[in-house]
Amino acid sequence: MKKYLSFFRLRFIMGLQYRAAALAGIITQFAWGFLEIMVFRAFYQTNPYDFPMDFSAAVSYIWMQQAFLAFFATWQMETEIFDSIRDGNIAYELCRPIGIYHMWFSRNMAQRMSRGALRCFPILIVAVFLPRPFRLEPPASFGHFVLFLVTLFLGLAVTVASCMLVYAVTFFIISPLGVRMVFTSAADFLSGAVIPLPFLPAKIQYVIELLPFASMQNVPLRVYSGSMSMGEMEKAVFLQIFWLIFLVFLGQILFKIAERRVAVQGG
């Protein structure tokens, strides 16, 4: 366990060095957040009584989404890992007395958390002091805030576990480009990144919420914004834990198969 914590610490410290990239990301996310809020504002002004979320809840959802974008951005996978699989440098990893899955999992967690740490606080601080109705509202209660932190970590872990499956599939194909495009497109829509899931038709939403994608950013953002009942939150946390265990188990199996079949320089 210590060696994986060391990988986590080193990757986290490395990620904190990219402050200029974080500043550019913060500016971009502020612009995108305001754009989304203005679009929702236009829809809410047409018929404010026919939406599944209050406008203040939708605004909080958007600001929290922008603040923790680095946690759940499935397109931000490590190019270094894909390159090591394709060019044969994976052989050096196989020689180490460590589990590749656990090492890459800890690295991915650290990378996302370091990027999120640089960007979330400026966005949250500014969003809290914006005038109503465009400000980030506090959670409904302290219990909601604690549950938000729990679901935020679980959602991050589910996101990383899902990305690990993409790395595993790369061992068996020539190019990961197609798999990455399909995965990121599906994850963006089905996790609520494009539009919050409550805005979808009820039957479609029911099915999507059972999928692992809904256990990513959808759950913590809706817990914070207060758009979930107590029963829905309990079900969502259970699904997050279930999908995390299942995806990690499946990923470890695929990695073991890949490690036995991997060929480097024809060997």
Per residue in 13-70, pLDDT tens?
887 887 887 888 888 889 899 999 999 998 888 876 778 888 989 999 999 999 999 8
**Whole-number pLDDT of residue 262:** 65
**Whole-number pLDDT of residue 263:** 59
Q: Name the residue with tokens 């499946």.
A: 250
Q: Give 211's DSSP letter.
A: S
Q: Taking 60 as the threshold, does the pLDDT of residue 232 lie above it?
A: yes
Residues 140 and 226 sit within 8 Å (Cβ to Cβ):
yes
Q: Taking 80 as the threshold, does the pLDDT of residue 119 lie above it?
A: yes
**Whole-number pLDDT of residue 228:** 86
Q: Taking 50 as the threshold, does the pLDDT of residue 84 lie above it?
A: yes
Q: Taking 70 as the threshold, does the pLDDT of residue 266 lie above it?
A: no
Q: Taking 70 as the threshold, does the pLDDT of residue 258 lie above it?
A: yes
Grade residue 267 by pLDDT with cuts at 50, 70 and 90.
very low
What letter represents residue 169's amino acid? V
Residues 224 and 64 sit within 8 Å (Cβ to Cβ):
yes
**Whole-number pLDDT of residue 264:** 55
**Residue 195's closest CA among 217, 211, 226, 228?**
217
Residues 158 and 240 sit within 8 Å (Cβ to Cβ):
yes
**Whole-number pLDDT of residue 16:** 80
Highest mean pLDDT among 38-42, 150-154, 194-198: 150-154
Share the mean pLDDT of the chain: 87
Angle (nearest 5°) at CA 109 between 106 and 110:
85
Tokens representing 126? 């500014």
In angstroms, how far is CA 214 from the centroid of its own chain?
10
pTM: 0.91
**Whole-number pLDDT of residue 85:** 81
**Whole-number pLDDT of residue 241:** 96
Percent of the chain scored above 70 by pLDDT?
Answer: 97
